Amino acid sequence: MLAALLLALLAQQLPSHVDKVDEKIVVERILVDARVVVGNGEPVTGLTPANFTVRIDGKPARVMSADWIPETAAARELADVDKPPVEVNHTLDIQPPRGRLFILFYQTDLAREGVRLAGQMQMNQQVDALLGMLEPDDRVAVFSFDSHLKFRLDFTDDRSRLSGAMQEAVLMNEPNTPPIVPSPSLAARLTRDALLKVGKPEDALILIANALRPIPGPKSLLFIGYGLGRFGRGGARMELNYPIARTALEAARVSVFTLDFTQADHHSLETNLGKVAEDTGGFYAKTNMFPKVAIERLHNTLAGHYELEVRKPDDLRRGTHTIEVSVDRRNAEVYARTTYIDRD
């Protein structure tokens, strides 16, 4: 009886409430690079989050911020923004490089078909125009692809070296190992064996994107070529590994701008060139008639971009999602990636 009374007394003294466990709600935000242009690529500036509409899997997503990032001296002057000073990195985090990063990817036809070879030779006459787009702090890497991927030049601002590598991309020679350059550099992540194993341009995009991924900030890949995928009974189809290439490009923040040099008004593989550009936030342009117009459009479009911070809808399952970005400006085009994959 005494033991029972003691237990009853202790039970009365125990707290009747149960401590609540604090729940932590994580709001996932997505960074989307978006270029808004009119006409022949002239950028639209002065937009705010209210001007953008973003949908993820068809559901409205809140745009938390929309920062305009001018990327050329002319764009900074128009935006009345001084060039940011170089920041000293006091942490272990890698800082984004100054200037823009470009990757020139030349697709050289093994069969040497006339409509393709003539187009590539015509683009070789535009080397000075392409180099004329560059700002002093910009860096360019050069690749070519024929039977396999060839690494012709690591990131550099040396215009003499760039001109030589761009001109030689039409050749099927085996280039020498590119000179060592300071960061950012791709050389450490591109072994000769890996380059030799790349048998399709989609595989080349995967390898290049994975090498670019550790380098922070957006990058622009200029795909100067004639096609992707293959043509069959059902029309032009991407290779089965294209979704992997698209995912790798997204993870590395790479936008692909395709310059189709095929000397024809229409051809079977052009659709897929347009698709890789649309999927990654770039554009597709033909160069068979007016290559300088295509380069001018490229120059205008790359003058700046918006960095959108978007709040992902809470009720979406993890996985791959579609992204649609639009603006309330008449006749404006928006170039932004079309997918987002949740990161663990």
pLDDT tens readout for residues 210-226: 999 999 999 999 999 99
Q: Do residues 245 and 324 share a domain?
A: no
Q: What is the pLDDT of residue 198?
A: 97
- Work out the pLDDT band at 9, boundaries 50, 70, 90: very low
Q: Which of 18-22, 157-161, 325-329 has the lowest mean pLDDT?
A: 18-22
Residue 321, pLDDT > 90, answer yes
Residue 236 within any structural domain of the chain: yes
Residue 344, pLDDT > 70, answer no
Q: Do residues 124 and 210 share a domain?
A: yes
Residue 77 within any structural domain of the chain: no
Residue 246 within any structural domain of the chain: yes
| Number of structural domains found in the chain | 2
Q: Do residues 67 and 158 share a domain?
A: no
Q: What is the pLDDT of residue 343?
A: 74
Q: Do residues 310 and 287 share a domain?
A: no
Q: What is the pLDDT of residue 176?
A: 93
Give the closest residue to 175 by CA, choosing from 160, 196, 158.
196
Residue 28 within any structural domain of the chain: no
Higher-confidence residue of 342 and 90: namely 342
Residue 298, pLDDT > 70, answer yes
Residue 23 within any structural domain of the chain: no
Q: Do residues 282 and 322 share a domain?
A: no
Residue 159's CATH number: 3.40.50.410
Q: Do residues 253 and 112 share a domain?
A: yes
Do the Cβ atoms of 75 and 304 come closer than 8 Å? yes
Q: Do residues 225 and 310 share a domain?
A: no
Residues 105-146 have pLDDT tens digits of 999 999 999 999 999 999 999 999 999 999 999 999 999 999
Residue 320 within any structural domain of the chain: yes
Q: Do residues 239 and 313 share a domain?
A: no
Q: What is the pLDDT of residue 299?
A: 97
145 forms bridges with which residues in the sheet?
A: 107, 149
Q: Do residues 174 and 245 share a domain?
A: yes
Q: Do residues 252 and 312 share a domain?
A: no
Do the Cβ atoms of 155 and 141 come closer than 8 Å? yes
Could you check whether the bond before residue 136 is cis, i.e. omega within 30 degrees of 0?
no
Q: Do residues 59 and 197 share a domain?
A: no
Average per-residue pLDDT in the chain? Answer: 89
Q: How far apart are CA 332 and CA 35, in angstroms?
A: 10
Residues 171-192 have pLDDT tens digits of 999 999 999 999 999 999 999 9
Mean pLDDT of 26-47: 92
Helix (H, G, I), strand (E, B), or coil: what is residue 265? coil
Residue 280 within any structural domain of the chain: yes
User: Rg (Cα) of the chain, in Å, rounded?
Assistant: 25
Q: How far apart are CA 206 and CA 249, in angstroms?
A: 7
Q: Do residues 162 and 274 share a domain?
A: yes
Neighbour count for residue 254 (Cβ, 10 Å): 24
Residue 235 within any structural domain of the chain: yes
Tokens of 227: 């096609």
Domain that holds residue 278: 101-302
Higher-confidence residue of 324 and 7: namely 324
